[in-house]
């Protein structure tokens, strides 16, 4: 049903020619069209909402944003798909698949890919290509992008692409060789300034090309053309680049993506359980086993392994296992002195499980800077403050939650209720009225 609705929306938008695209995009237009593309994609393909992935990738993105000159903030969305791909669109929106995360080996590789996509945005490669196409519009672009990213489910992919044949003729999403070389240069500068070895993207591209053999070309290489000269230039230019950030957690994120987000029937959980049985001293194997047992509902075994894992992140892994096992008091004792966002997330859930609504809400509020990348934070605050009798705040955060996930109808309903509860003349209500006014000006 979602795919049919998505196709209908795209056909509707096809009839609305966006004349300004042919004459040049302003920054505000890029933001508007980027948001429209996001809305359509968010309502047609599965979005990954794993707290570890969302929160950790936000920190990588933040480091890169701080060294880049950007006309607008970057919105990174992770699509649940085994396709190995990442793509930037207008307005600062970047899409990355769980398949890319599980394929990567180091944080430097992922940071390099993300820096490369940021470079496409700062250098306006996507915007310029769209501007040149007289007949392209946002519906076409969203359709094609969803088809590129969805992967895995061939029927879903065919259904999405079915209506985009005209779009495919009007606009190729394949970057030019000049675009790629420009993004290589700029992205490597971003990565190095952000504290990463700038050759990470070169390592990623080499492994991706080798892994495909001569039979199939990975989706990422279809949209980002590969040639050996690119790799040589990056490696020669940045031979002395070194990583300064602590990247020791990233291998666990790769394990998580491989265990939890592989399609059913791939045997990924069994693979990691077998790895653990062969080498129980490996912290990565142990973490894979923790996740495999936890997802199978064997909480006692996951807690047992997490208690003995030889990892600096032992308390975080144990805290998650305890929360999943509803051992909330034990989880609070383990996590209450931790300051990283992932630990705070599970600490808040533990307080909520104990019925300590005020401490749960307070802990979630500490995570508000991560709300745009992990909207569940807004949802939890909304529900908790509502239970505390703070109805205006409850509706406000529920409205922000629905706004971030692209459910603008529900966002409008909840924000209007918040205005009513706050009182229309209050400062809180006035701030929300500005958001509502923006929603009215934008048709989705």
14-28, 93-107, 429-443: which has the highest mean pLDDT?
93-107
State how far the Cα of 277 lies from the Cα of 257, in Å rounded to an integer: 20
**pLDDT tens-digit series, residues 385-435:** 999 999 999 999 999 999 998 888 999 999 999 999 999 999 999 999 999
pLDDT at residue 265 in the model: 76
Please work out, in degrees rounded to the nearest 5, the angle formed at the alpha carbon of residue 351 by the alpha carbons of 253 and 56. 20
pLDDT at residue 308 in the model: 97
Q: Where are the domains of the chain?
A: 2-237, 250-441
- Asked if residue 157 has pLDDT above 90, the reply is no
pLDDT at residue 183 in the model: 87
Name the one residue in this structure whose structure tokens are 């979005």: 47
pLDDT at residue 88 in the model: 87
State how far the Cα of 271 lies from the Cα of 256, in Å rounded to an integer: 13
**Where does the pLDDT of residue 444 fall: very low under 50, low under 70, confident under 90, or very high at 90 and above?**
low
19-23, 65-69, 168-172: which has the highest mean pLDDT?
65-69
pLDDT at residue 443 in the model: 56
**pLDDT tens-digit series, residues 182-193:** 888 999 999 999
pLDDT at residue 6 in the model: 37
- Main-chain dihedrals φ then ψ at residue 241, nearest 5 degrees: -70, 135
- Who has greater pLDDT, 49 or 176? 49
- Asked if residue 358 has pLDDT above 50, the reply is yes
pLDDT at residue 87 in the model: 86
Residues 6+ away with beta carbon under 8 Å from 95: 41, 76, 77, 78, 79, 85, 86, 87, 88, 89, 145, 149
Secondary structure of the chain in the HEC alphabet? CHHHHHHHHHHHHHCCCCHHHHHCCCHHHHHHHHHHHHHHHHCCCCECCCHHHHHHHHHHHHHHHHHCCCCCCCEEEEECCCCCCEEECHHHEEEEEHHHHHHCCCHHHHHHHHHHHHHHHHCCHHHHHHHHCCCCCHHHHHHHHHHHHHCCCHHHHHHHHHHHHHHHHHCCCCCCHHHHHHHHHHHHHHHHHCCCCCCHHHHHHHHHHHHHCCCCCCHHHHHCCCCHHHHHHHHHHCCCCCCCCCCCCHHHHHHHHHHHCCCCCCCHHHHHHHHHHHCCCCHHHHHHHHHHHHHCCCHHHHHHHHHHCCCCCHHHHHHHHHHHCCCHHHHHHHHCCCCCHHHHHHHHHHHHHHCCHHHHHHHHHCCHHHCCCCCHHHHHHHHHHHHCCCHHHHHHHHHHHHHHCCCHHHHHHHHHHHHHHHCCCCHHHHHHHHHHHHHHHCCC
- Asked if residue 145 has pLDDT above 90, the reply is no
- Who has greater pLDDT, 306 or 162? 306
pLDDT at residue 1 in the model: 43
Number of Cβ within a 10 Å radius of residue 244: 11
State how far the Cα of 296 lies from the Cα of 290, in Å rounded to an integer: 10
State how far the Cα of 204 lies from the Cα of 114, in Å rounded to an integer: 12
Contact between residue 294 and residue 327 where contact means Cβ atoms under 8 Å apart: no
pLDDT at residue 159 in the model: 43
pLDDT at residue 147 in the model: 62
pLDDT at residue 406 in the model: 83
- Who has greater pLDDT, 240 or 156? 240
Q: Which residues of 95-104 are buried (b: 16+ CB within 10 A; e: fewer)?
A: bbbbbbbbbb
The domain 250-441 is placed in CATH, from the list 1.25.40.10, 1.10.3720.10, 3.40.50.2300, 1.10.357.10, at: 1.25.40.10
- Asked if residue 137 has pLDDT above 90, the reply is no
- Asked if residue 9 has pLDDT above 60, the reply is no
Of 230, 103, 134, the C-alpha closest to 175 is: 230
State how far the Cα of 299 lies from the Cα of 197, in Å rounded to an integer: 39
Quote the radius of gyration of the chain (alpha carbons, Å). 23
pLDDT at residue 2 in the model: 43
Average pLDDT for residues 27-52, to the nearest whole number?
85
**pLDDT tens-digit series, residues 322-352:** 999 999 999 999 999 999 999 999 999 999 9
Name the one residue in this structure whose structure tokens are 């894979």: 288
pLDDT at residue 7 in the model: 34
- Who has greater pLDDT, 163 or 440? 440
Contact between residue 376 and residue 49 where contact means Cβ atoms under 8 Å apart: yes
Share of the chain above pLDDT 70, in %: 79
Q: How far is CA 325 from the centre of its chain?
A: 27
**31 to 28, 140, 285, 391: CA distances (angstroms):** 5, 17, 43, 32
- The tokens describing 443, both together, are 């048709």
Summary mean pLDDT of the chain:
84
Average pLDDT for residues 265-281, to the nearest whole number?
92
Q: Which residues of 389-405 are buried (b: 16+ CB within 10 A; e: fewer)?
A: ebebbbbbbbbbbbbbb
- Asked if residue 371 has pLDDT above 90, the reply is yes
- The tokens describing 49, both together, are 């909402």
Average pLDDT for residues 117-127, to the nearest whole number?
83
The predicted model scores a pTM of 0.85
- Main-chain dihedrals φ then ψ at residue 69, nearest 5 degrees: -95, 105
16-25, 73-82, 360-369: which has the highest mean pLDDT?
360-369
Share of the chain above pLDDT 90, in %: 60
**Where does the pLDDT of residue 140 fall: very low under 50, low under 70, confident under 90, or very high at 90 and above?**
low
* Partners of 77 in beta bridges: 95
């Amino acid at each position: 049903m979602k795919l049919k609705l998505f196709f209908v929306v795209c056909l509707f938008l096809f009839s609305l020619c966006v004349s300004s695209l042919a004459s040049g995009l302003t920054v505000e237009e890029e933001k508007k069209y980027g948001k429209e593309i996001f809305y359509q994609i968010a309502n047609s393909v599965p979005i990954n909402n794993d707290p570890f992935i969302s929160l950790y990738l936000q920190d990588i993105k933040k480091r890169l944003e701080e060294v880049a000159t950007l006309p607008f903030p970057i919105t990174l969305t992770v699509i649940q798909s085994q396709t190995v791909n990442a793509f930037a669109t207008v307005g600062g929106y970047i899409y990355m698949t769980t398949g890319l995360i599980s394929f990567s080996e180091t944080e430097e590789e992922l940071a390099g890919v993300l820096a490369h996509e940021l470079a496409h945005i700062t250098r306006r490669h996507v915007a310029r290509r769209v501007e040149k196409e007289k007949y392209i519009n946002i519906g076409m672009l969203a359709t094609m992008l969803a088809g590129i990213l969805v992967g895995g489910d061939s029927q879903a992919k065919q259904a999405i692409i079915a209506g985009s044949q005209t779009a495919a003729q009007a606009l190729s999403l394949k970057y030019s060789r000049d675009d790629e070389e420009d993004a290589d240069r700029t992205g490597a500068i971003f990565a190095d300034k952000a504290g990463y070895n700038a050759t990470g993207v070169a390592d990623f591209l080499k492994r991706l090309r080798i892994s495909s053999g001569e039979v199939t070309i990975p989706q990422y290489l279809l949209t980002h053309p590969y040639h050996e000269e690119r790799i040589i230039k990056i490696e020669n230019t940045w031979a002395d680049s070194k990583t300064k950030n602590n990247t020791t957690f990233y291998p666990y994120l790769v394990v998580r993506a491989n265990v939890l987000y592989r399609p059913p029937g791939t045997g990924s959980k069994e693979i990691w359980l077998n790895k653990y049985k062969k080498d129980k001293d490996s912290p990565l194997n142990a973490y894979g086993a923790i996740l495999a047992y936890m997802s199978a509902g064997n909480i006692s075994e996951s807690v047992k392994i997490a208690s003995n894992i030889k990892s600096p992140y032992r308390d975080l892994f144990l805290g998650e296992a305890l929360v999943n096992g509803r051992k909330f008091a034990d989880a609070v004792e383990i996590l209450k002195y931790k300051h990283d966002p992932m630990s705070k997330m599970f600490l808040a859930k533990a307080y909520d499980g104990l019925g300590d609504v005020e401490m749960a809400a307070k802990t979630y509020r500490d995570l508000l800077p991560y709300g745009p990348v992990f909207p569940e934070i807004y949802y939890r605050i909304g529900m908790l403050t509502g239970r505390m009798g703070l109805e205006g705040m409850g509706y406000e955060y529920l409205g922000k939650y629905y706004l971030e996930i692209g459910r603008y109808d529900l966002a409008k309903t909840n924000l209007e209720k918040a205005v009513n509860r706050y009182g229309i003349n209050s400062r809180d209500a006035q701030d929300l009225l500005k958001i509502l006014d923006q929603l009215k000006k934008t048709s989705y």
